[in-house]
Amino acid sequence: MNAQTIETMDDMKYIHIIAKNNVGILNRVSSLMRRRNYNMEEVSVSFDSDGKANILIAIVSGTTDIKQIISQLEKIHDVIEARDANDQMKDIFFAFYIYGLEKELELGDFKPVSTVMRTEGMINIFMIQSDRLKEFKGMVDDAGYYYKERVMNLI
């Protein structure tokens, strides 16, 4: 099972970084986080047609000051803006990869967005909005399915 618990997910805080899509920007962000001893629990990067990188970082809120992190991130060359993304939770999606199935899986009204056949069985991929995350994780955990989860960028 996934080691991250629902209680830990409640403690997650998200920072959205908009930066120029230049070589090394993710390295500069991760180097700053390492130097300041901040742990990035999840990182998602996407790119837009304007040549900007959208980086979403998840951190455990109890161990760090979000405002301090944002202040430090905004000092990085090529960072256009860094902001607290917790007020945008409705726009943050989580991808769940449920492994080892023999058929397409439906959990209540949750349906996979994609199903992939592999030699070790089928993988069902679900995209879940953050406001329904606890409900979905509860169903998956109760059913005992093996899964991997990752945060997706702002959509």
pLDDT the model gives residue 104: 84
Q: Collect all residues with Cβ–Cβ distance below 8 Å to 11 and sequence separation of at least 6.
A: 60, 61, 62
Encode burial over 19-33: b for 16+ CB neighbours within 10 A, e otherwise.
Answer: beeeeebeebbeebb
pTM: 0.77
CATH for 6-88, among 1.10.530.10, 3.40.30.10, 3.30.70.260, 3.40.720.10? 3.30.70.260
pLDDT the model gives residue 36: 86
pLDDT the model gives residue 152: 79
Of 133, 151, 150, which Cα lies nearest the Cα of 141? 133
Domain 91-154 matching CATH 1.10.10: the answer reads no
Task: Give the C-alpha separation, 49 to 21, whole Å.
Answer: 10
pLDDT the model gives residue 90: 81
Q: Provide the 8-state DSSP code for 110.
A: B
Low-confidence ranges of the chain (pLDDT < 70): 1-10, 62-64, 154-155
